[in-house]
Structure 1
């Protein structure tokens, strides 16, 4: 189910900057967050990630723990990387200031569980996933929050993925 939400294009009609392209990827959702950044500058709040801060604040009391929102944001980053779609995981500012473990990747130490989430990530097998993580880890384009950068190897427990049946 999640794979179909991530890998389908959305009808955006007149919202598109390119009138000839009424369909867009999930990337379209992040394009409209610039107003949050502008508001932060206007208020001189100087938050490292105003978007991440707003999502964290709005997640309180709605029945979805923020760690799941962070995991979804990270999954969109990974899936976007496979498809060359630039997704900036604003919520992961919190992953740089505290120890974060995502249940979905911890459970993926089971190869059977990984095979269930693989379509969502857009990879064909565990080797392609590991190559993606290694490529991202070596990249100089990883999301940066102030002086901290996320670590895909750490956030995915890459060494443990698929090590159990």
Structure 2
């Protein structure tokens, strides 16, 4: 297992955690309570098997999809991987790309999305969804779908000491 390295600043005694290698540090301020509009934004789609909402092959599917995007030279600077739960037995992953990829199962997301950042264990997801729905309502809107962006893998979240998850609420109506 790759361990994160730290650098110390002797003058003020602070420490800075350096990435363990796969996930870049995440700045929640960039994504908290933001509004994003996409028009046919390309994403490679992968299906994930779950058992009572616990993903069984998410890591493998995310790696496979990311490799396909990179091999097609279609990787954005910081790729977003959205997760949409279909049922307790499966979910879809949407791996951001800069353009369509020949032969891949592609989805093109369009619409306006409100985002909100959460931090904590994955078991808090139902609380986050309820809070997100309240936030969307307070903005005079309703959500058609809610997507999760797990900003780091579990290993990097542990290394950074924070498990940030961004919820994207696709707006269906707005007052």
TM category, shorter: under 0.3
Q: Could you say which structure has the higher helix fraction? A: 1
The alignment's TM-score, normalised by the length of structure 1, stands at 0.23
RCO higher in 1 or 2 (8 Å CA, sep ≥ 6)?
Answer: 2
The alignment's TM-score, normalised by the length of structure 2, stands at 0.22
Q: Could you say which structure has the higher strand fraction? A: 2
